[in-house]
Amino acid sequence: MAPVRFERVHKRFGDVVAIHELTLDIADGEFMVLVGPSGSGKTTALRLVAGLEALSGGHIHIGARCVDRLPPKRRDIAMVFQDYALYPQMTVYDNLAFGLRVAKVPRDEIRRRVDAAAEVLGLGDLLRRKPRQLSGGQRQRVALGRALVRQPQAFLMDEPLSNLDAKLRVQTRGEIKRLHAEIGTTTVYVTHDQVEAMTMGDRIAVMNEGRLEQVGDPDTVYHQPANTFVAAFVGSPAMALNAVDVVTGDGQVTLVRDRLRLVVARAACDLPARAMLGVRPEHARLWSDDAGLVGPVDGQVEYVEALGRETFIGVAAPGGARFVLEADGAYRIRIGEHVRFGFIPGRLHVFHPDTGAALGRL
């Protein structure tokens, strides 16, 4: 096990800058998730750690070593790809053992490591099968096992669950987290799936266009987004963002957009005359006179997503503002109907209208 450090890392492909001055410390034994949309630079960052791409600037450290000039085989890492990359002509046992044989590890040690990995991953009954005889989830466990037997300083995982169906993704997420809890090897995990990021990471690094937007534990990133990009990207359904005018006076702040007027307590920080108002669905509720909500707001239903346990309602409000409400799963309403709702005080996020930086909550 070893910490991994990006120090002002820069990567350019011709005229395209893929990574902008990335500085990120990943602690020994930590499970760090790099998350972001396609083209955000997260996979490039992982490939730079692996040595599959050359740095354009900056430094990468694995443990106490600067690995900038080391070839992949000398970096003491193991990588798991999204396409499994198993040898179809080999048995599961031989796939697991292949890297160790190339490294000239003694035969008894190879068997010990393979048997140990097979036990951890539930592959003991599959060692004589070939990849074509396995399900997608089983193949992914073999790919994980092949990395595990290496006993590296760090695991690098590039969207390893993207080829699995929804049920297997959930199951394999649990297996990877259990494996990490047992082994404790530093893990850098790349995904575009925010659910994977939120449920798996000790910390999350949110990337966008090659820049690090925010890094923190899942609760912090979700409840205290650093800017509008993080606010809109992390969370499903996404946080609703609407431009509003800000009027202060008489110890209150009023957020105004056409006929939409929200009166809230005085902000602890100075607010500009215009701002972006952000509200997550779970903080927008159907109106009740005794619920202590900020509002009321009247709107028209644009869509309904009934998911069983909860129902999400997309609403068009005055001035073209749009919000998503979370209601009980048994609640029923139709598109086109009118609905009255409000917001939980203290849960209204305010962002700068130009930079998108978080200003606070009301």
Task: Taking the CA atoms of 60, 5, 152 and 117 in sequence, report the sign of the dihedral they define.
Answer: negative
Nearest to 280 by CA among 241, 311, 313, 317: 241
The pLDDT assigned to 79 comes to 86
The pLDDT assigned to 267 comes to 63
Domains of the chain: 4-226 (3.40.50.300), 240-361 (2.40.50.140)
CA 207 – CA 192 distance, rounded (Å): 10
For the chain, state the CA radius of gyration.
Answer: 25
Given a contact cutoff of 8 angstroms between Cβ atoms, the answer to whether 113 and 100 are in contact is: yes
Burial of 196 (0-12, 13-18, 19+ CB in 10 A): buried
Alpha helix stretches (DSSP H) within the chain: 42-50, 92-102, 107-121, 136-148, 166-183, 194-200, 218-223, 228-233
Token pair of 326 as six digits = 């979370």
Nearest to 34 by CA among 227, 211, 184, 232: 211
pLDDT in tens, the chain (362 residues): 789 999 999 999 999 999 999 999 999 999 999 999 988 999 999 999 999 999 999 999 999 999 999 998 888 888 888 777 788 898 999 888 988 888 888 989 988 888 888 887 888 888 999 888 888 778 888 888 888 888 888 989 998 887 777 777 888 788 788 888 888 889 999 998 888 899 999 999 999 999 999 999 999 999 999 999 999 999 889 999 999 999 887 778 888 888 888 888 766 667 888 999 999 999 999 998 888 898 899 999 999 999 889 999 999 998 889 999 999 988 999 999 999 999 999 899 999 999 999 998 88
Given a contact cutoff of 8 angstroms between Cβ atoms, the answer to whether 219 and 231 are in contact is: no
CA 305 – CA 327 distance, rounded (Å): 10
Question: Distances in Å between the alpha carbon of 352 and those of 145, 191, 318?
Answer: 47, 28, 21
What is the strand order of the sheet 274-279 is part of? 260-265, 252-257, 240-249, 274-279, 349-351, 358-361
Start-to-end Cα distance in the chain: 43
The pLDDT assigned to 283 comes to 95
